[in-house]
């Protein structure tokens, strides 16, 4: 069965063209391609809808510590509160503690729509803890949507249970469909009371993932597929993966970059497996986008993330803080309904409104990548304060969101953890390197020194659009560049000064 | 005869769920095996289940102190690399 997919391909393929959401990402009518019942399921899901992630919040509860496979990008020992990556948590919870936490967060953050269980191990390798949490929550806060992530190994045996608990969103991490590729990613699995190594283990895992995917989609449960892009291991192969999972009914494919630092102690980290460059990631996402909807706003969050995607508030909700909170659950649910309804109304209004194709740009102008230090859809951050840059592509068809690039290093290990002992110079150089491929960087303000270094690197700093909506600012700057004639192939120098 | 859990344990619960004898319990700083209950899975399984699912090398030893999952056996990381990163021990 083939479900329709969300289109967030280049604007010229989407109706109307251009992206008119005030933040980043999908054209607002991208979701309207889906049948109503599917659209209704994803339009307020911050992880599935690029548009919704600006308004709706989610949380993960870390009730699932056990795992039944080993991935070469994972190290089960690691727990660092300064880090943000999958599989990492600070505080493991029992189902009872998890419910208490969810209810407290959902009262404090009324934008919350989704509870996910994503680890730190595999939720379906912890079936009792996972399903007890879902069961209690659907009783106590029936308005919160439930979702679960899995490596897929135990998925077929729990599909009925997933359907029973009204979990209508499942994420499966599928990195390969070929056991020989799989053996380079998964050293072993635990299956039928045995540890099975290498190709044999990978083959079973792949069969279970594919079977689970088919079973879920045939029951109408929405499936997103996550893939980790591992250069030289599965990069080309992921194009094949994308085709297959789309054919089997997955509605969204999320290709994420490998995180592999030696200090994480993972196999890939220690063996110096390269991470993909932003360009490699974007090229692969673009290649897969021809076959199915791609997700570009994923922040690869922790298994105990709380709040809006990209703004973790986990520190405010540790168990000791929750224990002393005074929460009125009934009032909280009423308030959530009001908040959710008003956000949906706003999104609906935006959805009906499509932007015309931009005028005054010569046909054949080449696209330009720009980095934006943005917040809440505005050019709002100081260059030096930006923890991430949002990357946009401007072209004669309009402006589209490409990705975000983090400026901070992941935790540098025990010694330097949280101390910020980095030389400012090298930090600046590294942040400029993060902007590779961009010709302009938009920010609210920028210092004298980075200005000079950016110009020397061929990236034009621009602080003239502070507090303006990002997409309007990007288009204005694009038109300015176009007006100089530098975007047409006939000119000798294509470089923006 | 009984197996034991070492300081390498990360308290992930995987072994607790698969032990046929309910011999493993949460404790601080790490999980422990009740040696009165542990049978090393004899009669139940071909291999001890805690050691078959445990993701951490050097976390489970037999009565002689031998690692059931020695360094490098689960991750495939070469011994020299483990030594370089301080992840190698001769004994529990």
A194 touching B (Cβ < 8 Å): yes
Preceding omega of B29 cis (within 30 degrees of 0): yes
As a whole number of angstroms, the distance between CA A222 and CA A231 comes to: 29
- Kindly provide the b/e burial profile for residues A172-193, where b requires at least 16 CB atoms within 10 angstroms of the residue's own CB: bbbbbbbbebbbbbbbbbbbee
Q: Is residue A441 scored above 60 in pLDDT?
A: yes
| B66–chain A nearest CA distance, Å | 19
Paired residues of A293 in beta bridges: none
A positions 11-40 inside 8 Å of B (CB): none
Q: What is the 3-state secondary structure (H, E, C) of chain B?
A: CCCEECCCCCCCCHHHHHCCCCCEECCCCCCEECCCCCCCCCCCCCCCHHHHHCCCCCCEECCCCCECCCCCCCCCCCHHHHHHCCCCCCCC
- In contact, A261 and A234? CB cutoff 8 Å: no
What CATH number matches the domain at A28-321, 3.30.70.141, 3.20.20.70, 2.10.109.10, 3.40.640.10?
Answer: 3.20.20.70
pLDDT for res A128: 95
- Average pLDDT of A37-41? 70
Domain A368-483 has CATH 3.30.420.130: yes
pLDDT for res A409: 42
Q: Is residue A185 scored above 70 in pLDDT?
A: yes
How sure is the predictor about A232, in pLDDT bands with cuts at 50, 70 and 90?
A: very high
- Average pLDDT of A38-52? 70
As a whole number of angstroms, the distance between CA A155 and CA A161 comes to: 10
Choose the closest CB to A267 out of B12, B17, B76: B76
User: In terms of pLDDT, which residue wins out, A311 or A149?
Assistant: A149
How sure is the predictor about A90, in pLDDT bands with cuts at 50, 70 and 90?
A: low
Average pLDDT, chain A: 80
Contact across the interface for B46 and A262, Cβ inside 8 Å: no
Contact across the interface for B46 and A270, Cβ inside 8 Å: no
| A109–chain B nearest CA distance, Å | 30
As a whole number of angstroms, the distance between CA B12 and CA A495 comes to: 53
- In contact, A321 and A361? CB cutoff 8 Å: no
Q: Is residue A158 scored above 60 in pLDDT?
A: yes
User: In terms of pLDDT, which residue wins out, A291 or A336?
Assistant: A336
With H, G, I as helix, E, B as strand and everything else as coil, classify residue A120: strand
Residues of chain A with CATH 3.20.20.70: 28-321
User: In terms of pLDDT, which residue wins out, A92 or A305?
Assistant: A92
Contact across the interface for B53 and A195, Cβ inside 8 Å: yes
Preceding omega of A120 cis (within 30 degrees of 0): yes
Closest CA to A408 of A393, A438, A387: A387
Q: Is residue A209 scored above 60 in pLDDT?
A: yes
- In contact, A18 and A470? CB cutoff 8 Å: no
- Between the alpha carbon of residue A347 and those of residues A32, A291, A354, A359, the distances in Å are 12, 27, 12, 26
Q: Is residue A290 scored above 50 in pLDDT?
A: yes
Q: Is residue A394 scored above 60 in pLDDT?
A: yes
Choose the closest CB to B74 out of A92, A187, A265: A187
- The secondary element (H helix, E strand) that includes residue A57 is strand A57-60
Per-residue pLDDT tens for A302-342? 667 777 776 777 788 888 888 878 778 788 888 888 888 88
Q: Is residue A421 scored above 80 in pLDDT?
A: no
Per-residue pLDDT tens for A462-481? 999 999 989 899 999 999 99
User: In terms of pLDDT, which residue wins out, B12 or A343?
Assistant: B12
Choose the closest CB to B56 out of A77, A92, A126: A77
| A77–chain B nearest CA distance, Å | 6
- Average pLDDT of A75-104? 74
How sure is the predictor about A86, in pLDDT bands with cuts at 50, 70 and 90?
A: low
pLDDT for res A447: 87
Choose the closest CB to B17 out of A66, A72, A195: A66
List of long-range contacts for B78-86, beta carbons under 8 Å, 24+ apart: B81/A270, B81/A271, B85/A262, B85/A265, B85/A270
As a whole number of angstroms, the distance between CA A441 and CA A431 comes to: 12
pLDDT for res A10: 34
- In contact, A364 and A488? CB cutoff 8 Å: yes
Domain B1-92 has CATH 3.30.70.20: yes
Q: Where are the alpha helices (DSSP H) in A111-186?
A: 127-140, 155-164, 179-182
For B92, counting Cβ atoms within 10 Å of its Cβ (0-12 exposed, 13-18 middle, 19+ buried), the class is middle
Contact across the interface for B18 and A193, Cβ inside 8 Å: yes
Query: Which of A89, A125, A201 is most worth mutating to test chain B (most B CB atoms within 10 A of its CB)?
Result: A125
Question: What residues contact A365, with CB distance under 8 A and at least 6 apart?
Answer: A395, A396, A482, A487, A488
B2 touching A (Cβ < 8 Å): no
Instruction: Indicate if ipTM > 0.90.
Output: yes
Q: Is residue A263 scored above 80 in pLDDT?
A: yes
- In contact, A354 and A27? CB cutoff 8 Å: yes
User: In terms of pLDDT, which residue wins out, A19 or A123?
Assistant: A123
- Average pLDDT of A141-163? 93
B32 touching A (Cβ < 8 Å): no
Q: Is residue A40 scored above 80 in pLDDT?
A: no
Between CA A77 and CA A309, with CA A224 as vertex, the angle to 5 degrees is 65
pLDDT for res A370: 95
As a whole number of angstroms, the distance between CA A202 and CA A185 comes to: 8
The domain limits of chain B are 1-92
As a whole number of angstroms, the distance between CA A205 and CA A334 comes to: 43
Q: Is residue A100 scored above 70 in pLDDT?
A: yes
How sure is the predictor about A30, in pLDDT bands with cuts at 50, 70 and 90?
A: very low
pLDDT for res A335: 85
Q: Is residue A416 scored above 70 in pLDDT?
A: no
Per-residue pLDDT tens for A117-148? 987 889 999 999 999 999 999 888 888 889 99
- In contact, A453 and A435? CB cutoff 8 Å: no
User: In terms of pLDDT, which residue wins out, A105 or A37?
Assistant: A105
Q: Is residue A405 scored above 90 in pLDDT?
A: no
As a whole number of angstroms, the distance between CA A208 and CA A245 comes to: 13
Which of A18-32, A56-70, A197-211 holds the top average pLDDT?
Answer: A197-211
pLDDT for res A415: 44
Q: Which residues of chain B have pLDDT under 70?
A: none
- Between the alpha carbon of residue B12 and those of residues A147, A152, A301, A321, A471, the distances in Å are 22, 19, 20, 24, 45
A7 touching B (Cβ < 8 Å): no
């Amino acid at each position: 069965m083939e479900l329709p997919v969300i289109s967030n391909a280049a604007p010229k393929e989407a109706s109307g063209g251009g992206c008119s959401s005030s933040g980043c990402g999908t054209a607002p009518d991208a979701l309207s391609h889906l049948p109503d019942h599917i659209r209704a399921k994803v339009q307020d899901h911050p992880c599935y809808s690029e548009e919704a992630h600006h308004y709706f919040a989610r949380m993960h509860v870390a009730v699932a510590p056990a795992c039944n496979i080993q991935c070469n990008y994972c190290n089960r020992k690691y727990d660092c509160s300064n880090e943000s990556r999958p599989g990492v948590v600070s505080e493991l919870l029992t189902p009872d503690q998890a419910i208490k936490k969810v209810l407290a967060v959902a009262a404090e953050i009324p934008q919350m729509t989704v509870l996910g269980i994503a680890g730190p191990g595999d939720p379906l390798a912890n079936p009792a803890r996972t399903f007890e949490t879902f069961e209690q929550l659907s009783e106590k806060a029936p308005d919160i949507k439930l979702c679960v992530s899995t490596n897929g190994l135990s998925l077929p045996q729990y599909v009925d249970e997933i359907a029973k608990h009204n979990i209508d969103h499942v994420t499966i991490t599928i990195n390969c469909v070929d056991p020989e590729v799989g053996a380079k990613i998964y050293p072993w699995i635990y299956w039928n009371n045995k540890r099975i190594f290498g190709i044999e283990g990978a083959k079973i895992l792949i069969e279970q993932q594919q079977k689970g995917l088919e079973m879920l989609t045939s029951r109408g449960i929405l499936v997103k597929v996550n893939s980790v892009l591992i250069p030289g291991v599965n990069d080309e192969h992921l194009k094949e993966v994308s085709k297959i999972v789309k054919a089997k009914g997955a509605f969204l494919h999320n290709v994420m970059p490998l995180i592999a630092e030696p200090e994480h102690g993972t196999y890939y980290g220690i063996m110096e497996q390269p991470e993909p460059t932003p360009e490699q990631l974007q090229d692969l996402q673009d290649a897969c986008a021809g076959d199915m909807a791609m997700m570009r706003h994923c922040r690869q969050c922790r298994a105990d993330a709380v709040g809006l995607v990209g703004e973790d508030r986990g520190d405010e909700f540790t168990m000791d803080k929750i224990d002393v909170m005074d929460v009125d659950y009934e009032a909280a649910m009423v308030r959530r309904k009001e908040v959710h309804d008003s956000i949906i109304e706003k999104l609906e209004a935006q959805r009906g409104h499509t932007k015309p194709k931009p005028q005054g740009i010569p046909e054949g102008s080449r696209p330009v990548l720009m980095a934006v230090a943005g917040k809440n859809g505005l050019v709002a951050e100081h260059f030096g304060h930006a923890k991430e840059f949002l990357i946009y592509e401007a072209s004669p068809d309009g402006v589209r969101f490409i990705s975000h690039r983090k400026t901070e290093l992941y935790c540098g290990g025990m010694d330097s953890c949280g101390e910020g002992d980095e030389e400012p110079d090298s930090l600046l150089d590294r942040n400029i390197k993060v902007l590779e491929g961009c010709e302009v960087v938009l920010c609210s303000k920028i210092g004298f020194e980075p200005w000079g270094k950016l110009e020397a690197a061929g990236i034009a700093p621009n602080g003239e659009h502070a507090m303006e909506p990002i997409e309007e600012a990007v288009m204005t700057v694009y038109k300015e560049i176009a007006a100089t004639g530098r975007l047409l192939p006939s000119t000798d120098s294509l470089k923006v000064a | 005869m009984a197996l034991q859990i070492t300081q390498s344990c990360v308290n992930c619960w995987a072994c607790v769920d698969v032990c046929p004898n309910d011999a493993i319990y949460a404790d601080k700083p790490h999980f422990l095996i009740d040696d009165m209950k542990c049978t090393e899975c004899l009669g139940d399984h071909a291999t001890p289940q805690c050691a078959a699912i445990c993701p951490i090398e050097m976390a489970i030893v037999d009565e002689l102190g031998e690692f059931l999952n020695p360094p490098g056996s689960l991750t495939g990381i070469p011994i020299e690399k483990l030594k370089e990163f301080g992840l190698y021990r001769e004994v529990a």
